[in-house]
Amino acid sequence: MRITIVGAGYVGLVSGACFADFGHQVTCVDNDASKISALQRGKIPIFEPDLDRLVQNNVKNGRLDFSTDLAGPVREADAVFIAVGTPSRRGDGHADLSYVYAASREIAAAVDGFTVVITKSTVPVGTGDEVERLIHETNPSADVAVASNPEFLREGAAIRDFKFPDRIVVGTDDERARKVISEIYRPLYLNKAPVIFTSRRTAELTKYAANAFLATKITFINEIADLAEKVGADVQEIARGIGLDNRIGSKFLHAGPGFGGSCFPKDTRALIKTAQDHDAPMRIVEAVLAVNENRKRAMARKVASVFGGTLRGKTVSILGLTFKPNTDDMRESPSIPLITALQDLGAKIRAYDPEGMEQSKTELSEICYCDGPYSCADGADALVIVTEWEQFRALDLDRLKRAMACPVMIDLRNIYQPHDVIAHGFRYESVGRNTQTGGV
């Protein structure tokens, strides 16, 4: 099949590379000339494990290419995926669909013969209807079927998620579109990935419902963690105790500083706005978003409490800036409000992240960036683990203590066993575990 992906960002690039690896002929189109030029030179604009190898192999084998020209690739395509950004609209929290609608008009002007236009971007219910209307308004003779095929990719594990998906959701009532999309995903037949064909609006809402539910699980266990600290319980054992119930499951039950990233915050906001517009308010999701926003800055108070509530003149080292490991994505990372709150409390910040420091420089100021965890800890009064990178899981605690001015570790991801850290002479704090060991 000939596939054109409009948008060479995270979703578009991963999808395009994986479709090409299935054997399809894929062109990724983007109006950012510098990004396309970099991709043509073999430079990947995002960090995602194994993506560089996948792109390079498929470019080398002639199955994947990149272009700023949309008309030619769309004209030749059997299917066109819209994979442009849908950020939160400034001011009201609705998804900004301007990029989706602009792509729709450009696609409409270029299509030639029957073409399936598929929204891969995360879009509110009814967007497919508007895409279809815009295409026919722009080109009344266009022979197209508009479908929804939301993505369910985890940053840091996107390639595996694409090739071994839990499910593939397709929203279309058009039999021709169904056949084309079935052929596109046919290589996954041996993996036995269930393909769910449903209505377009149902597919669109499924994506938002999935993200809102996962965000709710995270927020729920974070609130349980707060209570566990107060009553002397262990949130990790609680998570295991409830996660072994197959009705609940163990995933997304890890207490921490709150969720971030490109999906959960904007998608919960967009779902809330859609629900309000249709007079079906989602009180649970509203509470999830509010609790999560408050939690990020509350983590700064957790750090300050170790020093009697003040950080004036203290140096705090931050390990981990990205919202999760194995990505360079800083979008709505918990580290941003945490660091700004620490600075507001008077702290000087040192920071290290294996992949996210360049991105961080556009979000945060007055930070000393370091070249490793030990140099980051040099002279620090407290070390805060914010992102659970594997590089931070087996630090030399004796070396760390020697580097620090004051041996205090605040582990916001619970990646260490309290007794191990305490045995090395640290004051240790974690999330949802009663691990406090005296003052400083």
- Any idea which residues carry the catalytic annotation? 263
Cβ neighbours, 10 Å, residue 262? 21
Is 34 exposed, middle or buried, given 0-12, 13-18 or 19+ CB atoms closer than 10 A?
Answer: exposed
Alpha helices, DSSP H only, in 306-362?
Answer: 335-344, 357-360
154's CB contacts (< 8 A; 6+ apart) are 161
> How far, rounded to the nearest angstrom, does the alpha carbon of residue 245 sit from its chain's CA centroid?
26
Residue 319 in contact with residue 289, Cβ under 8 Å?
no
Closest Cα to residue 333, out of 308, 355, 316?
355
**Of all helices (H) and strands (E), which one includes residue 169?**
strand 168-171
Q: How do beta strands 315-319 and 348-352 pair?
A: parallel
Question: 3-state class of 255 per DSSP?
Answer: coil
Residue 86 in contact with residue 122, Cβ under 8 Å?
yes
Closest Cα to residue 265, out of 296, 243, 235?
296
Q: Radius of gyration (Cα) for the chain, nearest Å?
A: 24
- The CA distance from 374 to 140, in Å, is 63
Token pair of 366, please? Answer: 């007055």
Distances (CA, A) of 233 to 238, 262, 306, 349, 409: 8, 33, 20, 32, 20
